[in-house]
Structure 1
Amino acid sequence: MHHDPEITYLNVQQVAERLGVSAASIWRWKRDGDFPRAVKLGGRTTRWKLADVEAWEASRQFTFARGLLVPPGLSLSAA
Protein backbone atom coordinates (compact mmCIF):
# COMPACT_ATOMS: atom_id res chain seq x y z
CA MET A 1 0.00 0.00 0.00
CA HIS A 2 1.34 3.45 -0.93
CA HIS A 3 1.22 6.12 1.78
CA ASP A 4 1.27 9.79 0.84
CA PRO A 5 4.11 11.56 2.71
CA GLU A 6 1.93 14.69 2.87
CA ILE A 7 -0.63 12.93 5.12
CA THR A 8 -0.14 13.22 8.87
CA TYR A 9 -0.99 10.08 10.81
CA LEU A 10 -1.76 9.97 14.55
CA ASN A 11 -1.49 6.98 16.86
CA VAL A 12 -4.22 6.19 19.38
CA GLN A 13 -2.47 8.03 22.20
CA GLN A 14 -2.07 11.17 20.11
CA VAL A 15 -5.75 11.07 19.12
CA ALA A 16 -6.81 10.50 22.73
CA GLU A 17 -4.68 13.39 23.97
CA ARG A 18 -6.02 15.66 21.24
CA LEU A 19 -9.61 14.91 22.29
CA GLY A 20 -8.99 14.77 26.04
CA VAL A 21 -10.21 11.19 26.40
CA SER A 22 -8.62 7.82 27.09
CA ALA A 23 -7.17 5.53 24.44
CA ALA A 24 -9.85 3.03 25.49
CA SER A 25 -12.53 5.55 24.47
CA ILE A 26 -10.98 5.89 21.00
CA TRP A 27 -10.90 2.09 20.56
CA ARG A 28 -14.51 1.84 21.78
CA TRP A 29 -15.68 4.59 19.41
CA LYS A 30 -13.85 2.86 16.56
CA ARG A 31 -15.41 -0.51 17.44
CA ASP A 32 -18.89 1.06 17.69
CA GLY A 33 -18.49 2.84 14.35
CA ASP A 34 -18.63 6.28 15.98
CA PHE A 35 -15.19 7.43 14.85
CA PRO A 36 -13.30 7.81 11.58
CA ARG A 37 -11.94 4.68 9.98
CA ALA A 38 -8.43 3.80 11.12
CA VAL A 39 -5.64 3.02 8.67
CA LYS A 40 -3.60 -0.16 9.06
CA LEU A 41 -0.01 0.70 8.13
CA GLY A 42 1.16 -2.86 8.55
CA GLY A 43 1.32 -5.50 11.24
CA ARG A 44 -0.19 -4.12 14.42
CA THR A 45 0.31 -0.49 13.42
CA THR A 46 -2.98 1.41 13.38
CA ARG A 47 -3.17 5.13 12.76
CA TRP A 48 -5.76 7.79 12.03
CA LYS A 49 -5.38 10.48 9.41
CA LEU A 50 -5.19 13.88 11.07
CA ALA A 51 -7.53 15.30 8.41
CA ASP A 52 -10.15 12.63 9.23
CA VAL A 53 -9.94 13.39 12.96
CA GLU A 54 -10.20 17.14 12.26
CA ALA A 55 -13.27 16.59 10.07
CA TRP A 56 -14.84 14.42 12.76
CA GLU A 57 -14.20 17.14 15.35
CA ALA A 58 -15.68 19.82 13.09
CA SER A 59 -18.82 17.74 12.48
CA ARG A 60 -19.64 17.62 16.18
CA GLN A 61 -20.48 20.22 18.73
CA PHE A 62 -18.29 19.65 21.72
CA THR A 63 -18.69 20.97 25.20
CA PHE A 64 -15.52 21.05 27.24
CA ALA A 65 -15.80 20.97 31.01
CA ARG A 66 -12.88 20.45 33.34
CA GLY A 67 -10.78 19.43 30.35
CA LEU A 68 -13.09 16.52 29.50
CA LEU A 69 -14.90 15.88 26.25
CA VAL A 70 -18.67 15.71 26.66
CA PRO A 71 -20.32 13.93 23.71
CA PRO A 72 -23.26 15.53 21.90
CA GLY A 73 -26.59 14.90 23.61
CA LEU A 74 -25.10 14.78 27.12
CA SER A 75 -25.48 17.88 29.26
CA LEU A 76 -23.49 18.76 32.34
CA SER A 77 -25.87 21.53 33.40
CA ALA A 78 -28.25 20.95 36.26
CA ALA A 79 -31.91 20.64 35.28
Structure 2
Amino acid sequence: MRIIRLKEVMDLTGLARSTIYKFISGDSFPKPISLGDRCVGWLESEVHDWILSKVKERDQLVKNDA
Protein backbone atom coordinates (compact mmCIF):
# COMPACT_ATOMS: atom_id res chain seq x y z
CA MET A 1 0.00 0.00 0.00
CA ARG A 2 1.42 3.35 -1.06
CA ILE A 3 0.30 6.89 -0.27
CA ILE A 4 0.76 9.48 -3.00
CA ARG A 5 0.65 13.25 -2.77
CA LEU A 6 -1.45 15.69 -4.79
CA LYS A 7 1.19 16.28 -7.48
CA GLU A 8 1.30 12.58 -8.32
CA VAL A 9 -2.51 12.32 -8.23
CA MET A 10 -2.62 15.19 -10.73
CA ASP A 11 0.01 13.50 -12.91
CA LEU A 12 -1.82 10.15 -12.86
CA THR A 13 -5.28 11.55 -13.60
CA GLY A 14 -4.46 14.56 -15.76
CA LEU A 15 -6.82 16.59 -13.58
CA ALA A 16 -6.19 20.02 -12.08
CA ARG A 17 -6.11 20.47 -8.30
CA SER A 18 -9.42 22.36 -8.31
CA THR A 19 -11.12 19.59 -10.31
CA ILE A 20 -9.87 16.90 -7.94
CA TYR A 21 -11.26 18.76 -4.93
CA LYS A 22 -14.53 19.45 -6.79
CA PHE A 23 -14.90 15.71 -7.48
CA ILE A 24 -14.07 14.93 -3.82
CA SER A 25 -16.79 17.29 -2.60
CA GLY A 26 -19.22 15.60 -4.99
CA ASP A 27 -18.26 12.14 -3.69
CA SER A 28 -16.95 11.06 -7.10
CA PHE A 29 -13.24 10.84 -6.24
CA PRO A 30 -11.40 9.06 -3.40
CA LYS A 31 -11.14 11.08 -0.21
CA PRO A 32 -7.65 12.13 0.91
CA ILE A 33 -6.00 10.78 4.05
CA SER A 34 -4.67 13.25 6.61
CA LEU A 35 -0.93 12.76 7.09
CA GLY A 36 -0.41 15.68 9.44
CA ASP A 37 -1.59 19.20 10.19
CA ARG A 38 -1.22 20.47 6.62
CA CYS A 39 -0.48 17.33 4.66
CA VAL A 40 -2.77 14.90 2.84
CA GLY A 41 -2.27 11.98 0.53
CA TRP A 42 -4.27 9.37 -1.35
CA LEU A 43 -4.00 5.62 -1.49
CA GLU A 44 -2.47 4.90 -4.88
CA SER A 45 -4.72 1.84 -5.28
CA GLU A 46 -7.87 3.95 -4.79
CA VAL A 47 -6.75 6.45 -7.42
CA HIS A 48 -5.97 3.61 -9.85
CA ASP A 49 -9.39 2.07 -9.13
CA TRP A 50 -11.02 5.43 -9.88
CA ILE A 51 -9.16 5.63 -13.21
CA LEU A 52 -10.24 2.07 -14.08
CA SER A 53 -13.86 2.95 -13.24
CA LYS A 54 -13.67 5.84 -15.73
CA VAL A 55 -12.35 3.46 -18.41
CA LYS A 56 -15.22 1.04 -17.68
CA GLU A 57 -17.75 3.90 -17.93
CA ARG A 58 -16.33 4.85 -21.31
CA ASP A 59 -16.35 1.27 -22.54
CA GLN A 60 -19.95 0.81 -21.38
CA LEU A 61 -21.02 3.96 -23.24
CA VAL A 62 -19.28 2.77 -26.41
CA LYS A 63 -20.89 -0.67 -26.05
CA ASN A 64 -24.36 0.85 -25.59
CA ASP A 65 -23.90 3.12 -28.62
CA ALA A 66 -22.98 0.19 -30.89
Structure 1 or 2: more strand by fraction: 1
User: Displaced runs of 4+ in structure 1, greater than 6 A?
Assistant: none
3-state SS, counterpart of residue 40 of structure 2: strand
Larger relative contact order, structure 1 or 2 (CA cutoff 8 Å, min sep 6): 2
1:44 aligns with 2:9: no
* Structure richer in helix, relative to its length: 2
Consecutive unaligned residues in structure 2, runs of 5 or more: 59-66
Asked which structure has the greater CA Rg, the reply is: 1
**Aligned residue-pair number:** 58
Unaligned 5+ residue runs, structure 1?
1-6, 63-71, 73-79
Taking structure 1 as the reference length, the TM-score comes to 0.63
